[in-house]
Amino acid sequence: MNLAKILADTTTDNAERIAVRLDDFALNYGLLQQAAMRTAGMLRQQGVEAGDRVALMLPNVPHFVGAYYGSLQIGAVVVPLNVLNKRREIEYYLRDSGAKLLFAWHDFAAEAEPAASATGCEFVPVTPGEFEQALFQTEAVSELVQREPDDTAVLLYTSGTTGTPKGAELTHANLLSNCVASRGLFSLAAGTVVLGALPLFHSFGQTCAMNTCVLAGGTLSLLPRFDPVKALEIIERDRVAVFEGVPSMYGAMLNVPDRERFDTSTLRVCASGGAAMPVELMRGFEQAFNCQILEGYGLSETSPVASFNHPDRERKPGSIGTPIGGVEMRVVDDADRELPSGEVGEIVVRGENVMRGYWNRPEATAEAMRGGWFHTGDLARVDGDGYFFIVDRKKDMIIRNGFNVYPREVEEVLYEHPAVREAAVIGIPHNEFGEEIAAAVSLKEGATATVDELIAFVRERVAAYKYPRVVWLVDDLPKGPTGKILKRELRLPVER
């Protein structure tokens, strides 16, 4: 087995079909396969062998796709890196993974090159024009190195919200099964146009957009940096049928002034993940764009998809759906006992999508995989039909005066206020109650609302111990590379 075979197989049948597009630049499958084989040749010249780690610090550009499949083709392990990383962070990832070579976009060379030098990693800058010239002078490698299904294909580092980032070892079998499932979920076929707005270095964009698109013979239209107006322009220009994003992307597109001027009639299905989507946002987007949003759930460690609202079954707004094929999910208590429907507990997952383990972290692997189930750290409940509903991150749960408060429930109410664009609820220290409920809120353009008004709005709709006593307004909430709101970076105003 080798995940790169999906590119070879698709090229056999669709060599002339456009594989990847970036504005006016387009590569058909034949040329993409050539780029991958010549990248494989370049790696061979640098002494890279099967099992060696190759790091990619590339934005959403066609070069990422070619380097990804070229690395896999010779049996190397791909280590995708966030392009916003600084030298210290890059050095950590290169050292921890033992990467032999780093492909880095020219704009990030100032941070990447010193990090590579410090770790003894070969540095290859990717500068448009120059890199292609080097590829053309490299002999293509046509051989596809065979790997075992449980050999590591990608080393995907977790975000590190609970400590030092760990590399999740995703196997060829993990990733192939996940993109086969995704192809069915989104009904992708040859020629389907997918908007590649999610970072390809992230599991969601990499599996659900790039790998699934290549498997199906679709066209991936790339957006290197998310901008809601640009996204709408691409949907109109390229006749995009499938959009995949995190909730904040949907909110940004919905709130574009005069969005009606864009022809988005080709948009058929949208996938949301990475964070819980507020029900009001889902309804508003579907009404505005006349399409269906399927919400799903997963983590880097699950390749990433674990569950989804399936297009051929009942869809329940607010639910992350049911497990995909080949995957089992349960809700358990602190003693790992399965809970009855309706009770809140931790989601555990097992199946063909679950990682091999954490790279060089046997203790962390044993803890996360105890009992043969991957423990997600996410709290949820299951209804009588087997649909899962995320309640919150286990570590995000707020305990106020002995009562459990789930931030997502309070956020849902805030999103119902007509002036609210985005909201994030956190717990802050309190001398008497242990923790107090606090909320950072950004308003829609041109809308007004006072802090007192927002507090009163929530107070009328939830139990007395749940409403936020502290609310502050911000222009924008801090976000990670996928657009996911980063609660850990929220800072209370000095004066409130």
> Which one, of 294, 290, 264, 287, lies nearest residue 188 by Cα?
294
Side-chain half-sphere exposure of 315, counting CA atoms within 13 A:
16
Asked if the structure places residue 430 within a domain, the reply is yes
Asked if the structure places residue 157 within a domain, the reply is no
Asked if the structure places residue 159 within a domain, the reply is no
Q: Are residues 360 and 423 located together in one domain of the fold? A: no
- Are 200 and 64 in contact, with CB atoms under 8 Å apart? yes
- Are 195 and 242 in contact, with CB atoms under 8 Å apart? yes
Cβ partners under 8 Å of residue 201, min gap 6: 56, 57, 58, 64, 80, 81, 82, 83, 481
For the record, the structure tokens of 253 come out as 């597109």
Asked if the structure places residue 155 within a domain, the reply is no
> Which one, of 483, 27, 9, 484, lies nearest residue 220 by Cα?
27
CB neighbours of residue 427 within 10 Å: 19
Upstream peptide bond of 304 is cis (omega within 30 degrees of 0): yes
Q: Are residues 341 and 203 located together in one domain of the fold? A: yes
CB neighbours of residue 342 within 10 Å: 11
pLDDT value of position 160: 53
DSSP 8-class letter at 51: T
CA 285 to chain centroid, in Å, comes to 20
Separation CA 252–CA 30 (nearest Å)? 36
- Are 326 and 181 in contact, with CB atoms under 8 Å apart? yes
Asked if the structure places residue 163 within a domain, the reply is no
Q: Are residues 320 and 372 located together in one domain of the fold? A: yes
Task: Please report, for residues 23, 278, 379, 429, 437, the alpha-carbon distance to residue 397 in angstroms, rounded to integers and kept in the order given.
Answer: 43, 17, 9, 13, 11
Separation CA 34–CA 20 (nearest Å)? 13
- Are 489 and 478 in contact, with CB atoms under 8 Å apart? yes
Q: Are residues 249 and 286 located together in one domain of the fold? A: yes
Q: Are residues 342 and 460 located together in one domain of the fold? A: no
pLDDT value of position 159: 62
For every residue of 54-106, DSSP letters joined together read: EEEE--SSHHHHHHHHHHHHTTPEEEE--TT--HHHHHHHHHHHT-SEEEEEG
DSSP 8-class letter at 42: H
Helix (H) or strand (E) holding 377: strand 374-382
Asked if the structure places residue 381 within a domain, the reply is yes
> For 169, phi and psi rounded to 5 degrees?
-85, 105
> For 387, phi and psi rounded to 5 degrees?
-85, 135
Q: Phi-psi bin for 303: left (phi > 0), alpha (psi -120 to 50), beta?
A: left
pLDDT value of position 89: 86
Q: Are residues 247 and 123 located together in one domain of the fold? A: no
Separation CA 371–CA 54 (nearest Å)? 32
Separation CA 25–CA 159 (nearest Å)? 32
CATH number, domain containing residue 342: 3.40.50.12780
pLDDT value of position 193: 98
pLDDT value of position 248: 86
Q: Are residues 224 and 102 located together in one domain of the fold? A: no
Asked if the structure places residue 262 within a domain, the reply is yes
Q: Are residues 37 and 128 located together in one domain of the fold? A: yes
Q: Are residues 329 and 260 located together in one domain of the fold? A: yes
Per-residue pLDDT of the chain (496 residues; tens, 9 = 90+): 999 999 999 999 999 999 999 999 999 999 999 999 999 999 999 999 999 999 999 999 999 999 999 999 999 999 999 898 888 889 999 999 999 999 999 999 999 999 999 999 999 999 999 999 999 999 999 999 999 999 999 999 986 545 578 999 999 999 999 999 999 999 999 999 999 999 999 999 999 999 999 999 999 999 999 999 999 999 999 999 999 998 889 999 999 999 999 999 999 999 998 877 889 999 999 999 999 999 999 999 999 999 999 998 999 988 999 999 999 999 999 999 999 999 999 999 999 999 999 999 999 999 999 999 999 999 999 999 999 999 877 778 888 877 778 888 899 999 999 999 999 999 998 887 888 999 999 999 999 999 999 999 999 998 788 999 999 999 999 998 888 899 989 988 865 4
**In which domain, by residue range, is 426 found?**
397-489
Asked if the structure places residue 335 within a domain, the reply is yes
For every residue of 252-313, DSSP letters joined together read: HHHT-TTGGGS--TT--EEEE-SSPPPHHHHHHHHHHHT-EEEEEEE-GGGSSEEEE--TTS
Q: Are residues 266 and 343 located together in one domain of the fold? A: yes
Cβ partners under 8 Å of residue 464, min gap 6: none
pLDDT value of position 405: 83
CATH number, domain containing residue 430: 3.30.300.30
Cβ partners under 8 Å of residue 243, min gap 6: 194, 195, 197, 231, 235, 267, 270, 271
- Are 297 and 390 in contact, with CB atoms under 8 Å apart? yes
CATH number, domain containing residue 11: 3.40.50.980
Please state the domain count of the chain: 3
Domain boundary among 147, 179, 212: 147
Give the CA radius of gyration of the chain: 23
In sequence order, the β-bridge partners of residue 297 are 307
Domain boundary among 366, 393, 420: 393
Q: Are residues 11 and 125 located together in one domain of the fold? A: yes
Q: Are residues 406 and 375 located together in one domain of the fold? A: no
> Which one, of 247, 244, 242, lies nearest residue 267 by Cα?
242
Beta strands in 81-213 (DSSP E): 101-105, 122-126, 152-157, 167-171, 193-196
Separation CA 196–CA 482 (nearest Å)? 12
- Are 73 and 4 in contact, with CB atoms under 8 Å apart? yes
Domain boundary among 361, 393, 425: 393
DSSP 8-class letter at 479: B
pLDDT value of position 161: 46
In sequence order, the β-bridge partners of residue 25 are 22
